Structure formats: C-alpha cells, structure tokens
Amino acid sequence: MPTPILPAGLHVFERGWLSANNILFTDGDETLMVDSGYCTHAPQTLSLVESILGERPLDTLVNTHLHSDHCGGNAVLQARYPDLVTLIPPGQASLVTRWDPVALTYLPTGQLCPRFKFSQTLRPGTQMRFGASDWQVLAAAGHDPHSLVFFEPISKTLISADALWENGFGVVFPELEGLDAFAEVAATLEMIGHLNPKVVIPGHGRVFMYTPEVLCAYERLDSFVKNPLKHARHAAKVLLKFKLLELQRQSLDEFAQWAEATPYFIQIREKFFADVAVRMDRAIVCRVSCCRRSQKRWGVHSECLSCTGSWIKSAARHTHHQVFRQPLKLVVSLSCSGWEGVVPTCYGHQA
Ligand SMILES: [Zn+2]
Ligand SMILES: [Zn+2]
C-alpha cells in the first residue's frame, strides 16, 4: 500500500488502543487538536502536544465524539492551556454542562473521564478552519449517535473517528441499548464512500489510503446485521479489553467482579444472553501467568495461542463459558503483550 501523504502542518499521534489518535494542526494562526485520548494517558498526550508545539499554546480542542477514549484528556489540556477553546458535538452538550457521567456512558461502561468544560458546540453541515485549511463538519451516526467526522476536500483527507477504521468500525453502542443503528452505520459508510477520501485518519490504528475494495467495514457490518449476537459478543470483548488496557493488570476475581457490577455488561447479558451467567474460571490465571513468564510479545506467540486454544476448548464444555470464551481468549492475549497498550507513533506531514 502506498504511504499516505498528509497535508502540511498536520500531525497525527497514532496511539495505543486505549487512547484515540490525536490530530494536531500547526499551520495557520491558531493551533488546533482533534481528540485528546484516554485520561490515564493524559501525561503522554500532553508531552506529545508539547513536543510539537514547544512554547506555542494549544488554542482549540475539538472532539469527534464524547467517548472516554476521545475526550479523556480534555481536562488536563484545559488545565495546561487556560485559554483553550473546546468544541464538542451538539448532541450531548447539556449532559456535559451539568456533568452526567451516567448519560455520558462513563459509569455504565466502567470507564473514567474527568470532568471538563466546553466553549461551543460544533455544527454539522458547516465548515471549520483547522490549521490553514477548511474542513467540513459532518454528522456520522452509527457507532455513536452524536459522532462527527471531518473532511478536507482539496487533499481529500478524512478524519473518521470510530466511524471507519482500516479493519472496520467501532462497536455500535446504540444496538447494545436496544436501538436500531446498523442502518446508520451503513448510511455513514455510504456517505464516506461518496466523499471518496484519499487518506483516512482513523480514531484508532494507522493512517491509511481509502480504497473501497480493501475496506472490510461493509463485510463486518453485514455479519453483525445477520447475527446481532456476534456484535454483542464483540462489544463485550471490546469493553473487557478496554478495561484491561486501562488497568494493565488485575486479579481475575477482581476483574470478574468488575464485569459483573458494570451496567453495560449487565445490560448486554440481559438483552442478548439472558440464560447465561458471566463466569470466569481460575484456569485462566494459570494461562495468564504461563504467558507472562514466556515474555513473548503479542502477535508472535504461537505457543501461547495454542495453549489458549486448548484451554478455550476445555472451557467451552461448560455452557457458562460459551458466551465469554472470546473475551477470555482476549484476556490471555493481552497478558501476552506484556501489558503494553501504548505505542505512540507520530506521523509528521510529508508534503
Ligand atoms: Zn474510540
Ligand atoms: Zn467511540
């Protein structure tokens, strides 16, 4: 795949999975950043910003949407840059004003997000100056009903947040709450198809060239539409993985207790797996410690994967494990990674 070329003055910090990528604009009179990452990574976010800006202040912060991995660094950036103007999507502005961590989903998902304030709301359908160029502000419901994406038509660059990743898109949260949103995901993908971007800066993962042929988002959506249980399992896996990336390590008992007490898991269970109890087996602990001892890195640990596979097989004999075997597999995989969730990569502009 050819190397994506980014417009001048645009810097992308590709973060680990826990924090969304940050896009920093340094061209033009004012500096601006899109999304601020997760709160536990806020010191890193700050040092990444300072490494580019030096003494220059960050003038504006824009959030694509208000998931904790996209706005968890807002509070720290606001403290560091007291004149920072913060713009958020309009849909949840009143919830931010009165700070409702339940409606903002931070409490139900068991995630953290320090309270922040905002200056103005973004207006879908308008244009906004990012650095030295004009970007279209576009509504992109599906993953989140209030999410926005940003498009620059001259360079054909899209900031896609969690509406489009190289390997799919973010969990369709409204579906977990019993609302139909797969059609909105399809409409957003269609809108992106019409924009026909050249380069996509996703909310997570590397910057990539947009070629409809290689995108697996449609295929993924289709499989979820046909089998919503698959999506629910995927969502549970994502939420567990997210928490593990935040915690880095925790005893299995505590982790299971956390999952059982977290409203989103209760909701997913009641809605999709009412007859199945969440249960994690002690056997996983052995596998985890065995994998940790091996110190092998995620992705190159065929030995660990095969031991995981055999454990999954034995666990699958118990009905209780059927549903959560994928998340459990992931728990093990994460432990193999050496608990590293932060691999910041900085793409400087290349044109
Ligand atoms: Zn995200
Ligand atoms: Zn999101």
What kind and span of H or E run contains 347? strand 345-347
Residue 93 has pLDDT above 90, yes or no: yes
Å from CA of 277 to ligand 1 middle:
28
3 is a domain residue: no
Looking up tokens 């139900």 gives 108
Ligand closest to CA 105: 2
**Residue 229 — very low, low, confident or very high, per pLDDT cuts 50/70/90?**
confident
Q: What angle do CA 218, 222, 227 make, to 5 degrees?
A: 150
Bridge partner list, 200? 158, 208
Å from CA of 69 to ligand 2 middle:
7
Residue that terminates a domain, selected from 196, 224, 252: 224
**Residue 275 — very low, low, confident or very high, per pLDDT cuts 50/70/90?**
low
Residues 140 and 209 in one domain: yes
Got the DSSP string for 215-239? --HHHHHHHHHH-HHHHHHHHHHHH
Residue closest to 233 by CA, chosen among 183, 275, 269: 269
User: 19, 74 in Cβ contact below 8 A?
Assistant: no
* Average pLDDT across the chain, whole number: 80
> Looking at residue 16, which CATH number applies to its domain?
3.60.15.10
- Collapsing DSSP to helix, strand or coil, 138 comes out as strand
Å from CA of 213 to ligand 2 middle:
24
Å from CA of 104 to ligand 1 middle:
14
Residue closest to 73 by CA, chosen among 32, 99, 25, 35: 35
Residues 317 and 248 in one domain: yes
CB neighbours of 286 closer than 8 A, spacing ≥ 6?
none
Å from CA of 223 to ligand 2 middle:
20
Q: List the single range of 62-76, 195-209, 296-310 with lowest mean pLDDT.
A: 296-310
**Residue 54 — very low, low, confident or very high, per pLDDT cuts 50/70/90?**
very high
Å from CA of 316 to ligand 1 middle:
31
Residues 37 and 150 in one domain: yes
Residues 80 and 187 in one domain: yes
Q: What is the pLDDT of residues 236-249, one digit of tens each?
A: 878 877 887 788 76
229 is a domain residue: no
Q: List the single range of 135-144, 241-250, 305-314 with lowest mean pLDDT.
A: 305-314
Å from CA of 176 to ligand 2 middle:
14
How much is the average pLDDT of 256-284? 70
Residues 248 and 297 in one domain: yes
Residue 11 has pLDDT above 80, yes or no: yes
CB neighbours of 333 closer than 8 A, spacing ≥ 6?
298, 304, 305, 308
Residue 27: domain span: 10-224
CB-based neighbours (< 5 A) of ligand 2, an ion:
67, 162, 170
Per-residue pLDDT at 17: 79
DSSP structural state of residue 90: G
Residues 42 and 156 in one domain: yes
Ligand closest to CA 109: 2
348 is a domain residue: no
Å from CA of 217 to ligand 1 middle:
16
215 is a domain residue: yes
Number of domains within the chain: 2
Residues 152 and 194 in one domain: yes
69 is a domain residue: yes
Å from CA of 147 to ligand 2 middle:
8
Ligand closest to CA 245: 1
Per-residue pLDDT at 340: 32
Å from CA of 204 to ligand 1 middle:
6
Å from CA of 70 to ligand 1 middle:
6
**Residue 268 — very low, low, confident or very high, per pLDDT cuts 50/70/90?**
confident
Å from CA of 258 to ligand 2 middle:
21
88 is a domain residue: yes
349 is a domain residue: no
Residue 322 has pLDDT above 90, yes or no: no
Residue that terminates a domain, selected from 224, 258, 283: 224
Q: What is the pTM of this model?
A: 0.82
Percent of the chain scoring above 70 in pLDDT = 76
Residues 138 and 40 in one domain: yes
What kind and span of H or E run contains 137? strand 133-139
DSSP structural state of residue 25: E
Ligand closest to CA 18: 1
CB neighbours of 288 closer than 8 A, spacing ≥ 6?
252, 331, 332, 335
Å from CA of 162 to ligand 2 middle:
5
Å from CA of 68 to ligand 1 middle:
8
Residue closest to 112 by CA, chosen among 277, 262, 214, 309: 262
Å from CA of 112 to ligand 1 middle:
14
Residue 124 has pLDDT above 70, yes or no: yes
Residue 297 has pLDDT above 50, yes or no: no
Q: CB count, 10 Å around CB of 299?
A: 10
Residues 49 and 195 in one domain: yes
**Residue 9 — very low, low, confident or very high, per pLDDT cuts 50/70/90?**
very high
Å from CA of 345 to ligand 2 middle:
20
**Residue 251 — very low, low, confident or very high, per pLDDT cuts 50/70/90?**
low
Residue 276 has pLDDT above 70, yes or no: no
2 is a domain residue: no
Residues 32 and 97 in one domain: yes
Å from CA of 86 to ligand 2 middle:
18
What order of strands is seen across the sheet that includes strand 22-25? 120-121, 85-88, 60-62, 32-34, 22-25, 10-14, 345-347
Residues 76 and 209 in one domain: yes
Ligand closest to CA 204: 1
Å from CA of 8 to ligand 2 middle:
27
User: 157, 197 in Cβ contact below 8 A?
Assistant: yes
Residues 25 and 157 in one domain: yes
How much is the average pLDDT of 152-165? 96
Residue 144 has pLDDT above 80, yes or no: yes
Å from CA of 188 to ligand 2 middle:
14
